[in-house]
Amino acid sequence: MVSTIIASILIFGLLIFVHELGHYLAAKRAGIKVLEFALGFGKELIGWEKEGTRYTLRLFPLGGFCRLLGEDAEEKEQEGNFQSKSIPARFAVIAAGPLMNFVLAILLFALMYFFFLGVPQQHTTRIGEVLAGGRAEEVGLQDGDVILAVNGVKVQDWSDVVSRINANPEKEILLQLQRNGQQHTVTVTPENEGGRGLIGITPVYKKFAFFPSILWGFNYTWFFIKLIFVSFYQMIMGVIPADVAGPVGIVSVVGEVMQTGVSNLLSLAAIISINLGIINLLPIPALDGSRLLFLSLEGIRGKPIDPQKEGFIHFVGFAMLIMLMVFISFQDIFRLF
């Protein structure tokens, strides 16, 4: 239990730190003074000041903030304030937080492939592993076999192998392969999985491949971004049930995933980071998305929204988010016990 709590704090802390670091770096680049860079909410535990910015660690680790000069109306006349900058500069500062969450996801997935899983090698037709219980094992295929042809058609790379097997669900196919310098032929019938033929083989995986790992990190991040938006749409349309987890639920999932290895923990942290980035971009009051919306309206209208009205909307939104978080946490606790 202690290890689960520590791992959860580290994951939440990393995600929040990277998000606020995005705002911080973009603000510094735009010449905006950062008054405070904080991890957590509530009572200040540790704090120090450097070059006009106060850095603090606070009691409750579920959040953070980057307070910029000019966010309060009385600071609008001071040099280096947020409101004095152009709309594109302010837009970049607000958007940088969620974007950094996507960058973090790419890096976490890349680390997973680089150190633990390895990158699938597409330029070869050599079998990396024959999965237990699959059709390939049943007909005697072995790790290291090189597939030369499928149904008499030569295959050049792993994607050729996959596409030709996928195209024949529950249809007998003939594999020509090479093993220990000798050629063999094997007949196998791919099982039907969602309209695709599968026989239970995987490609060769290579660890410590830097650029391919980054590429796979990017591809996996993009895959999950699309998957989350599709899930949002399906929940709204009632196709799938609305199943949302709060901090308590996430901690429980972290505990379960920890038992399966570091690579899965990295993957979970990346998926949570993607969710955090997407949710913050939604036009919900008090989140970055609503601030981006107000900046867009300012650009269309040619003048800013009344700061008092905008502040009130953000305050109400923040209060509603807190209530929603409490409600979801109670649901999480009810599920656990």
Q: Can you give the pLDDT at residue 330?
A: 66
Q: Can you give the pLDDT at residue 318?
A: 74
What tens digit of pLDDT does each residue of 145-183 get? 999 999 999 999 999 999 999 999 999 999 999 999 999
Amino acid at 140: G
Per-residue pLDDT for 126 more than 90?
A: yes
Lowest mean pLDDT among 32-41, 141-150, 233-242: 233-242
Q: Can you give the pLDDT at residue 213?
A: 97
- Please give the positions annotated as active site: 20
- The larger pLDDT score, comparing residue 151 to residue 42, is at 151
Per-residue pLDDT for 245 more than 70?
A: no
- The larger pLDDT score, comparing residue 129 to residue 313, is at 129
Per-residue pLDDT for 334 more than 80?
A: no
Per-residue pLDDT for 190 more than 80?
A: yes
What tens digit of pLDDT does each residue of 16-40 get? 999 999 999 999 999 999 999 999 8
Q: Can you give the pLDDT at residue 117?
A: 94
Average pLDDT over residues 44-56: 94
Q: What homologous superfamily is domain 127-206 in, according to CATH?
A: PDZ domain (2.30.42.10)
Percentages helix, strand, coil for the chain, rounded to the nearest 5? 55, 20, 25
Phi, psi (deg, nearest 5) at residue 173: -125, 155
Q: Can you give the pLDDT at residue 333?
A: 62
pTM (two decimals):
0.86
Going by C-beta distance under 8 Å and a sequence separation of 6 or more, which residues neighbour residue 145? Answer: 126, 127, 177, 178, 179
Give Cα 170 to chain centroid, integer Å. Answer: 36
Cβ(148)–Cβ(99) under 8 Å? no
Residue ranges covered by each domain of the chain:
2-16+86-118+219-336, 127-206
Average model confidence (pLDDT) across the chain: 90
Q: Can you give the pLDDT at residue 181?
A: 92
- The larger pLDDT score, comparing residue 252 to residue 47, is at 47
How far is it, in rounded angstroms, from Cα 161 to Cα 147?
8
What tens digit of pLDDT does each residue of 201-225 get? 999 999 999 999 999 999 999 999 9
pLDDT confidence of 337, banded at 50, 70, 90? low
Q: Can you give the pLDDT at residue 6?
A: 85
How far is it, in rounded angstroms, from Cα 290 to Cα 282?
7
Q: Can you give the pLDDT at residue 335?
A: 63
Per-residue pLDDT for 247 more than 80?
A: no
Among candidate residues 240, 242, 231, 246, the one with its CA nearest the CA of residue 336: 246
